[in-house]
Amino acid sequence: MTPGLMQTAPLSTTAILRHGAANHGRRQIVSRTVEGDIVRYDYAQLARRAERLAKALKDLGVRPGDRVATLAWNTHRHLELFYAVPGLGAVLHTVNPRLFEGQIGYILRHAGASVLLFDPSFAATVDRLKDQVPDLRHFILLTDEAHAAPGAVGALCYETLLAAQTPGFDWPVVDENAGAVLCYTSGTTGDPKGVLYSHRSIVLHAMAGGLSGAFGLSAHDVIMPCSSMYHATAWGLPYMALINGCKLVLPGDRFDPPSLHSLITGEGVTFSGGVPTIWTMYLAYLAEQGASPGRLNRVVIGGSAVPRVMAETFKQRYGVTVLQIWGMTETSPMGVVATTTPDLDDLTEDERDDVIWTRQGRTQFGIELKIVDGSGAELPRDGQASGALLVRGPWTLRRYYRGERDVVDAQGWFDTGDIATIDAAGFMRITDRTKDVIKSGGEWISSIDLENVAVGCPGVRIAAVIGARHPKWEERPLLVIEPHDGHVLTRDAVLDFLRPQIARWWTPDDVIFADIPLTATGKIDKKRLRDTYRDHLMEQPAPRDAPVAQTQS
């Protein structure tokens, strides 16, 4: 080979920090703290505080490769850790505080973290966890002296540690393939598994995320991550913000609609992102209050399928474009984003919306997708054939943290556990997760498609469809609905709403009205629903509806 003659400076989170401070130094960061007040500063000050923090952690004995854990919400202090810890060559381990305490203990032990930084609201949890995690040597409360209470763990105070340092730090050169951020999957299918992002994967993912074929970020944007910083780095937004010079608004621990609305309108937020449940509540709030979302013009929604009615309402009522994304912790998490392409130019606006709103996204450079059948043979990209979705690329995982072997095949393909179609323009549509798919009389029924229609029924707040055991058809769809407050819905009204929009044999065998449990990442907890209702149709062997034909109509 003839070696290229270009520079090989490693891609690193420190390079992002330096760029943000040097070129967008006065851009604001607005953070709602867990104590409730609003903190304002800028990228130049962020860099100075990250330097002090790095020095403080080094003084506590943090060395390259060490894991430094957080139990923290979306605040400026957490942001400082996003840069200081990887900048030292150590690994920031963001723990999801919504998990059960037993799982949090398991994750901390598995990761072997030596330092834990936590918001004051988790003090009692940390006191209880302390003895389960013997490797933890230092505890630091993410607060100031006025709010610090050392508790049983004798926690140090974050602001006191920073104040004791001077700014200025000679950041080490870190290998771009070194581990930077460790994030565990939510554990709905067994023990949580660790995904260890490298500096390189973080930088490439964050660069790609800002492109116009993805989030289309610019220095004129004001972005507010409503996905949690502990969950796959809030979709990379804390890094994308500095790369693109966007003003960054951090909502702390308050994701309720009034709190979000005051930041969206007060700070001029143009771009936000989060799981559908957050936006369901926010849209209901806007409608109740007769309010408008100010300058907001793009909302990225993913983590589970975006109901069509949500995208429609955002666009038609508020002029806000919904960008659906699909991804998972294992893909950093951005996989595909639903943006338009000249391939759709010949369509009417309605037809174009229809494509964009019913697809999870279009393949971006940096992530390759393919679908395969049961024998592993690749299926055509015709928008019809559906099969197991495999992905690969420089920000897709190769092996879980402390795993003994790679979880990709010899060509680097990772099986996502999703079932999808892909079309010629690169649009991918998830039809189900492998474990959620309903197999009725040998045919597949898409729970996602059914949920998408059901959630459009007036009065429905959340709709979940699971496969319930059935004496004749193995499984039949069962629809569980959580209505909006004050709405009274009947089974027949819901089924009448569904019928004209779905194949007849997809009609759910029953409708249950109940509170729908969510997972620690805000998704419908299908596992719990299945545990509760799996035998619902067996208990009622004679469904009130006439048996449905097992042929597609």
Residues in touch with ligand ADP (CB under 6 A)? 185-186, 188, 302-305, 324, 326-329, 333, 360, 416-418, 430, 433, 521
Alpha carbon 265 to its chain centroid, in Å, reads 23
**245 vs 302, beta carbon nearer ligand ADP:** 302
**45 vs 304, beta carbon nearer ligand ADP:** 304
Specify whether 185 is catalytic.
Answer: yes
**224 vs 328, beta carbon nearer ligand ADP:** 328
Rounded to the nearest whole angstrom, what is the least distance from the CB of residue 540 to ligand ADP in the complex? 30
φ/ψ of 498, rounded to 5, equals -70, -40
Rounded to the nearest whole angstrom, what is the least distance from the CB of residue 12 to ligand ADP in the complex? 24
| Both tokens assigned to 345 | 């130019």
Alpha carbon 79 to its chain centroid, in Å, reads 17
| Both tokens assigned to 356 | 């964009």
**160 vs 188, beta carbon nearer ligand ADP:** 188
Catalytic residue among 33, 185, 280, 431: 185
Instruction: Identify the DSSP state of 191.
Output: S
Rounded to the nearest whole angstrom, what is the least distance from the CB of residue 360 to ligand ADP in the complex? 4
Rounded to the nearest whole angstrom, what is the least distance from the CB of residue 304 to ligand ADP in the complex? 5
**165 vs 186, beta carbon nearer ligand ADP:** 186
**What is the secondary structure of 4-71 as a DSSP string?**
--S--PPP-HHHHHHHHHHHSTT-EEEEE-TTS-EEEEEHHHHHHHHHHHHHHHHHTT--TT-EEEEE
The CA distances from residue 115 to 90, 194, 202, in Å, are: 11, 17, 22
**31 vs 304, beta carbon nearer ligand ADP:** 304
Q: Which helix (H) or strand (E) holds 185?
A: none
Rounded to the nearest whole angstrom, what is the least distance from the CB of residue 215 to ligand ADP in the complex? 14
Sheet of strand 115-118: strand arrangement: 156-157, 138-141, 115-118, 67-71, 91-94, 179-184, 194-198
Inter-residue contact 419 to 462 (CB < 8 Å):
no
Rounded to the nearest whole angstrom, what is the least distance from the CB of residue 172 to ligand ADP in the complex? 30
**What is the secondary structure of 247-283 as a DSSP string?**
EEEE-BT--SHHHHHHHHHHTT--EEEE-HHHHHHHH
Rounded to the nearest whole angstrom, what is the least distance from the CB of residue 13 to ligand ADP in the complex? 21
Q: Which residues of 305-336 are buried (b: 16+ CB within 10 A; e: fewer)?
A: bbbbbbbebbeeebebbbbbbbbbbbbbbbbb
Catalytic residue among 58, 188, 312, 444: 444
3-state secondary structure of 302: strand
φ/ψ of 194, rounded to 5, equals -90, 135
**75 vs 331, beta carbon nearer ligand ADP:** 331
Q: Round to whole Å and give the CA distance between 489 and 472.
A: 29
Rounded to the nearest whole angstrom, what is the least distance from the CB of residue 325 to ligand ADP in the complex? 6
Cis peptide before 333 (omega within 30 of 0): yes
Rounded to the nearest whole angstrom, what is the least distance from the CB of residue 244 to ligand ADP in the complex? 23
Specify whether 506 is catalytic.
Answer: no
**468 vs 520, beta carbon nearer ligand ADP:** 520
Amino acid in the structure at residue 386 = S
Q: Round to whole Å and give the CA distance between 469 and 475.
A: 5
**33 vs 332, beta carbon nearer ligand ADP:** 332
3-state secondary structure of 134: coil
For residue 101, the tally of other CB atoms under 10 A from its CB is: 12
Q: Give which of 297, 361, 309, 373 is closest to 333, Cα–Cα.
A: 361
Residues 6+ apart with CB under 8 A from 87: 12, 13, 14, 17, 50, 54, 171, 172, 174
Catalytic residue among 176, 330, 451, 475: 330
Catalytic residue among 434, 439, 474, 551: 439
Q: Give which of 21, 74, 9 is closest to 51, Cα–Cα.
A: 21
**353 vs 418, beta carbon nearer ligand ADP:** 418
φ/ψ of 97, rounded to 5, equals -70, -10
Specify whether 439 is catalytic.
Answer: yes
Q: Give which of 257, 284, 276, 274 is closest to 485, Cα–Cα.
A: 284
Rounded to the nearest whole angstrom, what is the least distance from the CB of residue 59 to ligand ADP in the complex? 34
Q: Which helix (H) or strand (E) holds 206?
A: helix 199-210
Among all residues, which ones are annotated catalytic? 185, 330, 439, 444
